[in-house]
Amino acid sequence: MKKSKVLIIYTGGTIGMVQDVDSGSLKPFSFSSIAKQIPELKKFNCSIKAVSFKEPIDSSNMNPSHWVEMASVIEKNYAKYDGFVILHGSDTMAYSASALSFVFENLAKSIILTGSQLPVGEIRTDAKENLITAVEIAASKHKEKSIVPEVCIYFDYQLFRGNRAVKFSSTKFEAFQSFNFPILAEAGVNITYNTDDILKPPKKKLVVHKKFCNEIAIIHFFPGITSDYVSNILQNQRLKAVILKTFGAGNAPKIDWLAKEVKNAVKEGKIVFNVSQCERGEITQGKYETSKWLKDAGVIAGKDITTEAAITKLMYLMAGGYSNTKVKKLLMSNLRGEMSP
C-alpha cells in the first residue's frame, strides 16, 4: 500500500486557543504551536502537511465565505492527498460540516472536522485524542480507497456523519450527538467502522459547489407567538426562504392569521421548510390537524433533518440557480445522507 497523505487545515477554535495576557480571554493562535503540543503526529505512518487560515478565527465568527475558503483549499489539493482534517471550533462545527457535505458532490475521500472542548495546552485536554484519531481515520484506506468517503465530525471517540450531527453540550467532552442516524465509527483499542451506513461514493468526477445564499430566516415557534413577529419575517421581501421550527412531528398553532401569512409567503415564491424543534424523530405533516394546514399551504416537510443541515442545504440550493419547483424537489430528496430516504 502507498503511504497515505493527509492535509490538516487549521481554521482556529478552542483546540488552538491561548489566553490573552491583557484581557484573560481565549484567542486563536498558530497551528505550529499545536504541532509542538502533539509530537505523536510524527509517529504516524503517513505523510502529514498543514495549512492555516491567514487569521485563525473563533468559530462563532464563521460564515459562508470561510466555508468557501476551506472548500477551495481542499479542491486545490484534492488530487495530492488521501484525506483531509479540518481543525475547527465546536460551536459552529455542525454548520460547517453540513455545508461542506453539500459543497462536495461525488466525494471519494475523507474530510474530517474535529476540535476540542479544552485548549491543546491544558493538562486534561481532549485535543490530542481528537486530532490523532481524526488523522488516522482520514488516512485509512481499504484497497487504496478511503474507508469513510464523507464529510464527518470526529469527537470523543465517535465519528459522525457531518450533516447528521448536532452540538448538544458546551461542557462535556462528548459534545456532539447524532440523534437520527448511527455513528459511522467508534474508537477504542481499535477503530470499528460501521461500514453498512457509510456512503458509497459514485464513480463520477468530483464537483465542487462554492456558492451560498444567506437570504433565509428561521421562525422558532413558541406558545404565544405574535403576528408581528411572524409577519416581520415572512413579509420581508429580501428573504427567499424561511425555516419553520415547529413542535413535535411538525405541528404549529392553527390560527387564521398564521395560516394566511404562511400561504401568502408560499404564493409569493418563498420556500418554507418545516423542521422539528425535537432533536430525535421526524416531521410527518398531516398526522395532526395542527400540521395538515402547513402541508395544505405548500410547506415542505424536512423529515428528520437537523436545523444545521436544513440551513446549509437551503443556502446551497438557493444559490444553485434552480427554479422553485426544483428547489422543493431537491429539499425533499436525500442528497448527501442528510435525511432518511
**Which residues are the active-site residues?**
14
Q: Distance between CA 278 and CA 291 in Å, rounded?
A: 15
Residue with grid cell 420581508, as numbered in its chain: 236
DSSP at 201: P
Would you report the helix, strand and coil content of the chain in percent, each value rounded to 5? 35, 25, 45
Q: Which residues contact 197 (CB under 8 A, 6 or more apart)?
A: 161, 181, 182, 184
How crowded is residue 28: how many other Cβ atoms within 10 Å of its Cβ? Answer: 25
Task: Please tell me the distance from the alpha carbon of residue 103 to that of residue 64, in angstroms, as a whole number.
Answer: 11
What residues form DSSP beta bridges with 281?
A: none
Torsion of CA 79, 81, 87, 91, to 10 degrees: 50
Work out the burial of residue 172: count CB atoms within 10 Å of its CB; fewer than 13 is exposed, 13-18 middle, 19 or more buried: exposed
CA distance 333 to 285: 16
